[in-house]
Structure 1
Amino acid sequence: MASRKRGRAMEATPGAAAASSGWELLTQPRIIVAGLALAVLLFYYQPLFSAAASIQWDAVDVQYSPQKYLSDMLHAGKAPFWTPYVFSGAPFLADPQVGAWYPLNWPFFLIGITPRAIEWQLALHALLAALGGYLLGRDLLRSRAGAVIAGIFFAFSGLFAETSSHVGPFQATAWLPVLLWAGRRAARETRWLPVLALCSGCLVLTGHFQTALYSFFALAVFLAVDFAVTRGAWVRYLAALACAAVAAATLPAVMVLPGLELTGESLRAGADYSRDAGAALTPGALATLVFPNHYSALGPEPYQGPQDITQFYLYMGLLLLPLAAVGLMAGRERWYGVVLAVAGAWYAFGPSGGLYSAIAMLPGFHSVRAPIQMWFVAALGLALLAGAGVGWVRARIRSPWIPLALAAVIGFDLYYWNMDRNPLAFARESFQDRYGTNQDRFQTVVAPLTREPLHRIYAPFATPAFGPLNGTLDSRIEVTFGYNPLELSRYHNYMEAAKGNARLLNGLGVTAIVDPSKGSLQPNAARLARIYAPESMSAVRTKEEAIARLATLDPAREAVVEGGDAIPQNGGATVQITAYEGDSYRARYQSAHPTLLRIAVPYYPGWQAEVDGHALPVVPVDLALMGVVAPAGSHELTVRYKPSRFAAGAAISVAAWLGALAWLWWGWRTGARAGSKRASL
């Protein structure tokens, strides 16, 4: 009998050894990376390759149209610091939402932006999220299988499904686990500090300030937990936080400095959401963690949740909470997931939870709204807890088939609900059917009216009936409308006043008017020239006084200038525009006296004027537009846009990137030398 037992043991040994050998092969880092890449490719196969799939909503309006315009302009050899194709003209590269300076977008700009290219950006960042979750889990958890599954839970969660139409937040969210991984390593070894710096810079360069701010908050919380758990050197943790902060301010300075200037001139200037928080986490939204169609976001019934359907779908799989509950027994590593989950969810509840109001007192936090957007921090915490749960199970059941089966079940579950059946992830029709047909129709209708180089078409609002809401960037049609929360506040007030005073449209140089209620497009015979001398110029002291004057202003007869002296007899000048390039004008004028030349272009810092090569100040006219008080005689006026903060921001960024890369090279070279010396001993 004993011999039979020994025989069975000997027979079992080769099988067990083979299974162990196979498991070791599967858990090699390169195999895990390849497996996650394959998983992402399969997960995103439909939106990447199906002809009946398309990006939608803000992915089209905020990312595709601006990025396509940027790519086209760069291929033409021009940097579009200013664009004339939305809002009668607006700063373009100053807008962080474009993602112009984000390194992972550059290959797409080089290849050329298409709707499918935006989907590839999403897939690339899903892979980044999965790899980041794995790397972070590998350092925190005792199980490689748990680390992989933590990455799967995070990268394929409902959070990314609902954010698929918001590319900037999607990209920034994907950096969170990488940031925490680099931060923890930087708090242990100095050579990881430049890695943390580069991660911090890239996170900010995605262009979504709110997600970046929340990510750095999560980094501070995470490092505090790590310090409490490991009792490391507090100086190193402070150094890591300082490194992240400095890098976040300097590496993306080329975007941050112009972006701050634009924000200060936009509708978001001085925003304070400490009390009016907007979208916050609800108990019903928490129910979607395990019941994906709780709000009928997936149909077929009408959506029944809070207003924004793209913020309240959180499904992370049926096995998430059971595994997370098991993870609570996993020892010290559980605290990372617990604290991230609690902090993220607590803040996401908004003012009613208390934490939101307390944190709103910190710099920057009162300027952001919709606390539900902090949920991604909680989602990563739950993913880490579930990974810890897998590790706990793996320590007690050694069979490699258990984690493989868990990964397969979790992956299929998340794919079915968060991609295959999920209308938030992508549109179930082609881009041409959803957007292109309307855009083509609009271009055809307005074509006869756009042959004039200085055309400008008015509509009371951007509408999908014209195609993408910023589609005029693609078609190069100058319009008065657009879609952007950073619309210039002066211009916005002017256009609001124009709803009650149509003469303001004449002063804006509108050449054609769209009336959506009648479905008509009519030429505007009463339009004024893009540059002209009004009959008189009056002066006001403040912007508020200028706003008050708009209700009754007739731009043909009078211009209102902030500051300066009035010119009662301003008219009589003749003006002929001789050159126009979208961001510059050249005109010949003749006047018997000094005269205000009113220029129907939105006023914004960076516009410069010269008369015969001599600089003249540009002043705000009629609140939103600009003008130049030109000397008497026959002269040439040149007006061009030159961004006021780009050069300083670019210089800081170049110096910071060179410094960070040199630091990275030096740190790893020094580390490699030290390692070789230890090996030789």
Structure 2
Amino acid sequence: MIPPPRRLGGPLLIAGAWLLFFSQPLLQGRVFFFRDLFFFHEPLRRYWIGSLLSGTAPFLNTSLNLGQPILANPNNAVFYPGNILYLLLPFAPAWNLSLAGHVLWAALGAYWLARLMDCGPAASLCAAFGFAFGGPLLSSLNYYNLLVAVSWLPWTLGLALQAWRRGSAWVGLAGAALAAQLLAGEPTVEILTGCLLAIFWLAGLRNSSTRSVHLRRGALILLLAGALGGMQLLPTLLWLPETGRGGGLPFRESAAYWSLHPARLIELLAPHFHGNPCGVAAAEFWGGGLSDAGLPYILKIYCGWLPLLLAPLAWRRRWGRAGLSVFAASLLLSLGRHLPGYRMLYELMPPLWIVRYPEKLLLPASLALSLCCALALAELARGTSARPSLLFAAALLAALALAAVLSPHPELSQSQRASQLVSAVQAAAAGLVSLVLAALAASSRGRRVAMYLIPAVLLVDLAGFTWDIAQTRPCEEEDRRPALLSRLPALIEGPILHTGEDQMEKYFSAGRDPFLSLQDALHPFTGLRWGVSYGATNDIDRMGWKESGQRRQFLHADPVSAGSLAMMRQLGIRRIVSLSPLASAELAEESASGGGGAGGDSGNGGPEVRVYRLLPPPLPFVRWEEGAGSLAWKEIKPYRIEIDLDASSAGRILVARNAIKGWRGWMDGERIPVSSSSAGLLRIAAPAGRHRLLLDYFPPGLVAGLALSLAGLMLLAAAFWKPLLEIIEGRGP
């Protein structure tokens, strides 16, 4: 049944605003590329999608650290249903539509959730605009998995609410939504969603007259989510002990890193108070000292003035009190190590062990605040007095004025100080307009007009500050062959060691667009698209094999030491790419020129990039560790190697692939064990004579995980079956 036009008005307005907001990537031939998208998510996704389209299962990335699992790493989100876009469209439009589309999905989810909470269309539009176009969610555009997972948050909560109220098929849909979050590969959001559902479910059970029914519904939601996500969950759980995360991450580098500095709270009122982190020039942002990496994880935390000044009115409603509690708790926890007692909370609350970067907690905070805005507007529509909001708004404006006037910034230049004051004035103007509209909405005469204007004003207010978060560049720039590879095509002959990842400051201080310099210098992992292999590179997501991480640390500590060069030969690394000169008799310089421009001139502002070839060259990919004889090999697939050998005596063969769990061996059709060498490479015992050896990698737990997911699909189908629904509801036999 097609919904009536009036019911589609809100979603259509949301879609229109979304299309205007993302017109560049959707309609103007540009592509998302900023931060982690550029050197992590896009290269890795393009790699495994390309493998899949060429008929190769996405099991193993052999171009990264001598073989790292693809499917078992949740950051690749191989089983996420939205990946169907990459099979239907060319990569660039699929990439853009996937990222922008999940912002639209988040907006529609927030709208629907507000409607479930008895908010009108205009109020629900404010929830959608505040959440989807606010700083926290748009900042997550730079982190693929985070955006995908958090876009499902309002849908999961809404479907769980319907499952609580109405049961029936809503239970299955809630489990499916929770599974989609799990398959998105962002554990922090999954844990937060689970905690929210558990808290509200337990709170509801206190006053429920049908506790057993609601308990069965809740258990079925969790069972469905776990089963449907089994194809990702089981391989990941079996791989996790082998990774850098397996033994736990250091507190300061995970649960305390990128904590929201209290001084940044003023950005809730004036988003550019510490400068614009998305500005073109470095001088436009002077708040780097407030963040661990010189740039905030959540670039902008601004959610608009309306949600803040209307928040007190939401307290009148039950859902408003819950929303304000979630907002306050999430905001406080986002302070991380700056919050007194946070380390003790971390020790007492196991869910916080999963949280990497406390600023992520600003995402549920922004959803809660946006919903509170909708609930407050619903109260105003009923004729509730706006006096609490007026007083709160006056206090906020006074705080902003005091911060703008009294904030000590002696190190700021005159132009920076002027920019700060302009930002404060612009935000104050938005606050005053919002205040007038709130007062108008509280009056019987102007309420109708105000309710139409408020969503538009909120959208304009947000767009004035957050439009530049979603950074794009022309597709031609994305597709341009890197300058270094144009000068030296031999770089694709074998794995390289790129020491530039330890010299990042040179890209940003060279007077040229750093992203162009990174691309031209083949900075990890940007060269994956062009066939470049990285032999020992940074484990960004801490989901790589821990032994390869130790190798990387050793090699980068002193790449020209005798021990490092000997290890490189064992690993098959042929060349070193460096942004500074290297001196060794065992290295031959092949290229030294600027990192940008197809011509490679050093005067274009890019850092100087040098390439060195190892002398003598590295050992063969397949070789004898002990024994002698002929060896002929063929790499059928990245995860399947065939070796024909003729050994004069029994010995051992080494293959320059990581000896991770999942490798299996067959000698003349009979299963044989596969072990690891001291360097972490594949080692196979070979008997004398002629033999054919087959090595094959298959992700551990995949078969069981697929079976579990198949059972989950059957359970999901059964959740729509009336006899089972009657049993869940306590009405069956």
Alignment TM-score > 0.5, same fold: yes
Q: Which residue of 2 aligns with 1:301?
A: 284
Segment of structure 1 superposing worse, 345-354 or 385-394: 345-354
Segment of structure 1 superposing worse, 457-466 or 384-393: 457-466
Q: Which residue of 2 aligns with 1:514?
A: 577
Structure 1 residues 240 and 465: CA distance shift in structure 2, 3 A: farther
Structure 1 residues 224 and 482: CA distance shift in structure 2, 3 A: same
Amino acid at match of 2:331: A
Q: Which residue of 2 aligns with 1:206?
A: 184
Work out whether residues 71 and 110 of structure 1, in 8 Å CA contact, stay in contact via their aligned partners in 2. Answer: no
Work out whether residues 93 and 100 of structure 1, in 8 Å CA contact, stay in contact via their aligned partners in 2. Answer: yes
User: For residues 112-191 of structure 1, what are the structure 2 equivalents within 5 Å?
Assistant: 112-114=90-92, 116-191=93-168
CA separation in 2, counterparts of 1:216 and 1:312?
26
Is 1:440 the equivalent of 2:482?
A: yes
Work out whether residues 258 and 296 of structure 2, in 8 Å CA contact, stay in contact via their aligned partners in 1. Answer: no
What SS does the corresponding residue of 2:246 show, helix, strand or coil? coil
Q: Which residue of 2 aligns with 1:268?
A: 245
Work out whether residues 221 and 340 of structure 1, in 8 Å CA contact, stay in contact via their aligned partners in 2. Answer: no
Match of residue 469, structure 1, among 524, 531, 538: 524
Work out whether residues 54 and 431 of structure 1, in 8 Å CA contact, stay in contact via their aligned partners in 2. Answer: no
Please list the CA deviations of residues 371-394 of structure 1 after superposition, one character each: whole Å capped at 9, or x if unmatched: 221221211111121111211222
Amino acid at match of 1:90: Q
Q: Which residue of 1 aligns with 2:460?
A: 412
Work out whether residues 149 and 407 of structure 1, in 8 Å CA contact, stay in contact via their aligned partners in 2. Answer: yes
Q: Which residue of 1 aligns with 2:676?
A: 620
Structure 1 residues 360 and 182: CA distance shift in structure 2, 3 A: farther
Q: Which residue of 2 aligns with 1:496?
A: 553
Q: Which residue of 1 aligns with 2:643?
A: 587
Work out whether residues 273 and 369 of structure 1, in 8 Å CA contact, stay in contact via their aligned partners in 2. Answer: no
Please list the CA deviations of residues 434-488 of structure 1 after superposition, one character each: whole Å capped at 9, or x if unmatched: x544x532432342354x5xx3333235554435732333223333145532221
Is 1:335 the equivalent of 2:390?
A: no
Work out whether residues 285 and 312 of structure 1, in 8 Å CA contact, stay in contact via their aligned partners in 2. Answer: no
Amino acid at match of 2:683: G
1:269: how far off? Answer: 1.5
Please list the CA deviations of residues 53-108 of structure 1 after superposition, one character each: whole Å capped at 9, or x if unmatched: 64222123333222222332222222121121121222112221122211122123
CA separation in 2, counterparts of 1:331 and 1:497?
58
Match of residue 430, structure 1, among 452, 460, 474: 474
What SS does the corresponding residue of 1:46 show, helix, strand or coil? helix
Work out whether residues 273 and 367 of structure 1, in 8 Å CA contact, stay in contact via their aligned partners in 2. Answer: no
Amino acid at match of 2:465: W
Q: Which residue of 1 aligns with 2:387?
A: none
Structure 1 residues 65 and 629: CA distance shift in structure 2, 3 A: same
CA separation in 1, counterparts of 2:352 and 2:218?
18
Structure 1 residues 622 and 55: CA distance shift in structure 2, 3 A: same
Match of residue 64, structure 1, among 32, 42, 51: 42
What SS does the corresponding residue of 1:634 show, helix, strand or coil? strand
Please list the CA deviations of residues 136-184 of structure 1 after superposition, one character each: whole Å capped at 9, or x if unmatched: 1112244332222112211111012211111110111111111111111
Work out whether residues 619 and 626 of structure 1, in 8 Å CA contact, stay in contact via their aligned partners in 2. Answer: yes
Please list the CA deviations of residues 27-47 of structure 1 after superposition, one character each: whole Å capped at 9, or x if unmatched: x32222222222211222234
Amino acid at match of 1:306: S
What SS does the corresponding residue of 2:34 show, helix, strand or coil? coil
Segment of structure 1 superposing worse, 174-183 or 50-59: 50-59
CA separation in 1, counterparts of 2:572 and 2:136?
45
Structure 1 residues 102 and 382: CA distance shift in structure 2, 3 A: same
Structure 2: segments with no counterpart, 5+ residues: 384-442, 502-517, 582-608, 728-733
CA separation in 1, counterparts of 2:91 and 2:545?
26
1:25: how far off? Answer: 8.4
CA separation in 2, counterparts of 1:39 and 1:188?
32
Structure 1 residues 400 and 669: CA distance shift in structure 2, 3 A: farther
CA separation in 2, counterparts of 1:354 and 1:214?
20
Please list the CA deviations of residues 410-448 of structure 1 after superposition, one character each: whole Å capped at 9, or x if unmatched: 0111112111xx3x3214x42543x544x5324323423
Amino acid at match of 1:417: F
1:334: how far off? Answer: 1.8
Segment of structure 1 superposing worse, 37-46 or 468-477: 468-477
1:587: how far off? Answer: 1.8
CA separation in 1, counterparts of 2:40 and 2:678?
29
1:667: how far off? Answer: 8.3
Is 1:285 the equivalent of 2:264?
A: yes
1:250: how far off? Answer: 1.6
Segment of structure 1 superposing worse, 64-73 or 572-581: 572-581
Work out whether residues 298 and 360 of structure 2, in 8 Å CA contact, stay in contact via their aligned partners in 1. Answer: yes
Segment of structure 1 superposing worse, 306-315 or 287-296: 306-315
1:243: how far off? Answer: 2.9
Q: Which residue of 2 aligns with 1:74?
A: 52
What SS does the corresponding residue of 1:628 show, helix, strand or coil? strand
Please list the CA deviations of residues 169-224 of structure 1 after superposition, one character each: whole Å capped at 9, or x if unmatched: 01111111111111111112221110111111111111111111112112223334
1:231: how far off? Answer: 4.8
Structure 1 residues 651 and 446: CA distance shift in structure 2, 3 A: farther
What SS does the corresponding residue of 1:626 show, helix, strand or coil? strand
Amino acid at match of 2:367: L
CA RMSD in angstroms comes to: 2.8
Q: Which residue of 1 aligns with 2:495?
A: 456
User: For residues 215-294 of structure 1, what are the structure 2 equivalents within 5 Å?
Assistant: 215-226=193-204, 231=208, 233-272=210-249, 277-294=256-273
TM-score (norm 1): 0.82
Amino acid at match of 2:301: L
Amino acid at match of 2:37: A
Amino acid at match of 1:416: G
Work out whether residues 225 and 339 of structure 1, in 8 Å CA contact, stay in contact via their aligned partners in 2. Answer: no
Structure 1 residues 298 and 516: CA distance shift in structure 2, 3 A: closer
Is 1:376 the equivalent of 2:363?
A: yes
Amino acid at match of 1:529: P
Amino acid at match of 1:301: E
Q: Which residue of 2 aligns with 1:106?
A: 84
Structure 1 residues 251 and 629: CA distance shift in structure 2, 3 A: same
CA separation in 2, counterparts of 1:71 and 1:127?
24
Q: Which residue of 2 aligns with 1:479?
A: 534
What SS does the corresponding residue of 1:637 show, helix, strand or coil? strand
Q: Identity across aligned pairs (percent)?
A: 22
TM-score (norm 2): 0.76
Q: Which residue of 2 aligns with 1:530?
A: 621
Structure 1: segments with no counterpart, 5+ residues: 1-23, 535-569, 672-681
1:656: how far off? Answer: 0.6
Work out whether residues 323 and 389 of structure 1, in 8 Å CA contact, stay in contact via their aligned partners in 2. Answer: yes
CA separation in 2, counterparts of 1:389 and 1:522?
64
1:407: how far off? Answer: 0.7
Work out whether residues 162 and 311 of structure 1, in 8 Å CA contact, stay in contact via their aligned partners in 2. Answer: yes
What SS does the corresponding residue of 1:527 show, helix, strand or coil? coil
CA separation in 2, counterparts of 1:402 and 1:665?
46
CA separation in 2, counterparts of 1:93 and 1:594?
36
Work out whether residues 85 and 479 of structure 1, in 8 Å CA contact, stay in contact via their aligned partners in 2. Answer: yes
CA separation in 1, counterparts of 2:249 and 2:66?
28
Please list the CA deviations of residues 270-290 of structure 1 after superposition, one character each: whole Å capped at 9, or x if unmatched: 114557622223322322111
